[in-house]
Structure 1
Amino acid sequence: MTPNPSFWSGRRVLLTGHTGFKGSWLALWLLELGAEVTGFALAPETNPSLFAQLELEWRLDHRLGGIRVASLLTDVVAETRTPRWCCTWPPSPWCAAATPNPRPPGLRT
């Protein structure tokens, strides 16, 4: 499958996890295809990071925050003029084990 740049050109995309390794690659790919990318994530965990090496902070609308803070995420969605596409990059499986309460309150399995 070949990505279609004309499809992505000018599309507003909200990408969570853009400061991580895989999220940085996805952000770069979307930018190269012409998308208007807003990234929302915690600060990069490594130094150096792919995010820093690709200078993504200057190439996209970079927002710091965690997706667990609903008010922050709601504000980002509103400020990005309601993105056409939202891409979430899930954390690695071991992140849940390191988090005291990995599920939001009220969520049942």
Structure 2
Amino acid sequence: MKGQAPTLGRHPGPGLAGESKNYHPKIWQSAFTTAGLDYRTCIDGMHALRHTFASTILAGGVTIRELAEYLGRKDPRFTLRVYTHMLPSSRNRARAAIDDVTALLTASDQLAA
């Protein structure tokens, strides 16, 4: 219809679009058809899109357990093995936590003196 955005396939319902069994055939492949492209398995960009999604939300602070759930994995161990190199280092946070405690202890000692 004029003035309306085209649909890329039937939406599977609330909370279900992200599941690969729904997203891939109902949204992703349908987008190829709508764009007039030939869909070809393994070079369709889905794998790259999935990794981009995962690395982006990890950088935003989502936990491995949450990411595994978002990716449809029941066990987060596989997700951890794949994406562990993407996790932000906790060294700076650990140093900051120790510095904060040290500063509190130093301030407390100075007040007591």
Q: Relative contact order, CA 8 A, sep 6+: which one is greater?
A: 1
Larger-gyration structure (1/2): 2
More helix as a share of residues: 2
TM-score, normalising length: structure 1: 0.30
User: Which of the two has greater strand per residue?
Assistant: 1
| Structure-2-length-normalised TM-score | 0.29
